[in-house]
Amino acid sequence: MKDEAAKLGANGILLQGVGDQQVGTVGGAYGSSTASGNSAYGYGVGSSAAVFQKAGSGMAIYVTQN
């Protein structure tokens, strides 16, 4: 945010909010099955996890120095 505010000629930032933002998920799974004659057996395992990153919003300001 500092770099973006500086491009506008600002020398400060008023933070309006900071938090975590979900940006995606990562998952994986495995499954297997077997069959023999009149019977079959299968199983599966899976998991997933959310991926977060810090996010914030603010207002670029210019403060005069005395």
CA distance 45 to 22: 24
Q: Which stretches does DSSP call E strand in the chain?
A: 12-36, 39-61
CA distance 56 to 50: 19
pTM of the predicted model, to two decimals? 0.48
Residue 11's beta-bridge partner residues? none
Paired tokens of 25: 């998920």
Residue type, 63: V
Task: Read off the pLDDT of residues 23-54 as tens digits, 9 standing for 90 and up.
Answer: 999 999 999 999 998 999 999 999 999 999 99
The SS3 of residue 4 is: helix
